[in-house]
């Protein structure tokens, strides 16, 4: 298995693999999104309490899940980079950050637009909202730090350290609604226990979650591919790619 992983770290092999995977994940994401949106906007019944406003959930919740998931990927890649010094880990982490920041922003904006009609306010400084906003700042800080440092290797190490130090925000965000009194309600979807959301409403939510994951894979591979090409620009295989494509 280690040889296979090691091969994956090889830039040329990764580049070719990325090229093959991107169309599958890209078109897969689009199809899943169309199916999920149809389920969420048309098929799912209105909520007994929130009416049609709950349909914002089909963007808000998957976006929030992605904001956390992508950060975990960045933290994992950062640890791998710091320990094994695999450049590809740094490339994937840095490619993921703008996507994670975008999902965090989306979660905050859609949450705000959902909060105004339901709660009566666009914003409140409770533990859930505040910690998610903090996550956005962490993403932006991570991206800023990477751009500010000229030496690629120093930048990689600084960003990796930042990502790992700030990973503690993830459990804080997740458990914020349990540990503190918040306006934001507790979790509706659980892996281990019964979910408190009707099946007809849950299925499109899970489809959208998958759609966003496929989307992330496609986009991060596009970004990583470009970065990789630039980093390996002096090698022969890159020259061949540039000549042929």
Partner 1 sequence: MGEFFHMGGYAFYVWLSYGVAAVVLIANVFIPLVRDRQVKRELAMKMVRDNELNQESIS
Partner 2 sequence: MHPVRKRRLILVSLLIVGVSIAVGLMLMALGENLNVFYTPTQVHAGEVPSGHTFRVGGIVEEGSVVHDPDSLAVTFIVTDTANTTTIKYDGILPDLFREGQGILAEGKLDENGIFIATRVLAKHDEKYMPPEVDDALKAAQDIGAYKRNQ
Interface residues with partner 1 (CB under 8 A)?
A: 26, 41-42, 46, 51-53, 55-56, 59-60, 63, 98-99, 102, 105-106, 109-110, 113-114, 116-117, 215, 219, 222-223, 225-226, 229-230, 233, 238-239, 242-243, 245
DSSP 8-class letter at 117: H
37 token code pair: 């949106």
Closest residue by Cα to residue 207 from 38, 12, 15, 27: 38
Task: Name which of 51 and 186 has its Cβ closer to partner 1.
Answer: 51
| Contact between residue 41 and residue 143 where contact means Cβ atoms under 8 Å apart | no
Cα separation, 245 vs 231, whole angstroms: 18
Spatial CA neighbour of 96 closest among 10, 15, 216: 216
Based on CB atoms, which residue is closest to partner 1, 206 or 222? 222
CB-CB neighbours of 47 under 10 Å: 15
Residue 72 contact, options partner 1, partner 2, none, Cβ 5-8 Å cut-off depending on partner type: none
Beta carbon of residue 33, minimum distance to partner 1 (angstroms, whole number): 8
Q: Which token pair is 149?
A: 């440092």
d(CA 113, CA 127): 18
Among 5, 13, 34, 83, contact with partner 2 (rule: CB under 8 A):
83
Nearest residue to 59 (alpha-carbon basis) of 16, 2, 108, 11:
108
Question: Sign (positive/negative) of CA torsion 238, 240, 242, 244?
Answer: negative
Distance, CA of 37 to CA of 174 (rounded, Å): 25
Residue of 119, 152, 154, 230 interacting with partner 2 (CB under 8 A): 119
Interface with partner 2, residue 208, by CB under 8 A: no
Using CB under 8 A as the binding criterion, the count of chain residues that bind partner 2 stands at 41
Give the angle 212-213-216 at the CA atoms, nearest 5°: 85
CB of 219 to partner 1, least distance (A): 6
Q: Which of partner 2, partner 1, none has residue 105 at its interface (CB below 5 to 8 Å by kind)?
A: partner 1
Q: Which is nearer to partner 2, 61 or 219 (by Cβ)?
A: 61
Distance CA 191, CA 103 (A): 22
Smallest distance, partner 1 to C-beta of residue 27, A? 12
Task: Decide: 107 and 174 in contact? Cβ < 8 Å.
Answer: no
What character string, x for contact with partner 2 (CB under 8 A) and - otherwise, covers 8-47? -------------------------------------xxx
Of these, 10, 43, 121, 178, which contacts partner 2 (CB under 8 A)? 121
User: Closer to partner 1 at the Cβ: 33 or 170?
Assistant: 33
- Residues near partner 2 (CB under 8 A) are 45-50, 54, 57, 79, 82-84, 117-121, 124-127, 161, 164-165, 167-168, 172, 179-183, 185-188, 196-198, 200-201
């Amino acid at each position: 298995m280690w040889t296979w992983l090691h091969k994956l770290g090889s830039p040329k092999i990764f580049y070719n693999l990325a090229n093959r995977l991107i169309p599958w994940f890209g078109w897969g994401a689009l199809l899943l999104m169309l199916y999920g949106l149809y389920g969420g906007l048309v098929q799912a019944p209105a909520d007994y309490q929130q009416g049609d406003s709950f349909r914002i959930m089909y963007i808000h919740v998957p976006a929030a899940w992605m904001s956390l998931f992508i950060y975990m990927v960045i933290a994992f890649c950062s640890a791998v980079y710091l320990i094994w010094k695999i450049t590809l880990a740094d490339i994937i982490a840095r490619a993921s950050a703008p996507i994670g920041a975008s999902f965090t922003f989306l979660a905050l904006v859609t949450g705000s637009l959902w909060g105004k009609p339901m709660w009566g306010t666009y914003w409140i400084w409770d533990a859930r909202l505040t910690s998610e906003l903090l996550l956005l700042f962490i993403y932006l800080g991570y991206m800023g730090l990477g751009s500010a440092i000229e030496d690629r290797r120093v930048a990689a190490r600084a960003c990796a350290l930042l990502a790992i130090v700030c990973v503690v925000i993830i459990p804080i965000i997740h458990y914020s609604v349990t540990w503190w009194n918040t306006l934001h309600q507790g979790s509706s979807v659980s892996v281990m226990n019964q979910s408190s959301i009707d099946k007809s409403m849950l299925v499109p939510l899970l489809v959208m979650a998958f759609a966003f994951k496929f989307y992330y894979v496609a986009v991060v591979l596009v970004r990583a591919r470009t970065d990789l090409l630039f980093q390996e620009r002096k090698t022969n295989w890159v020259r061949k790619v540039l000549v042929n494509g």
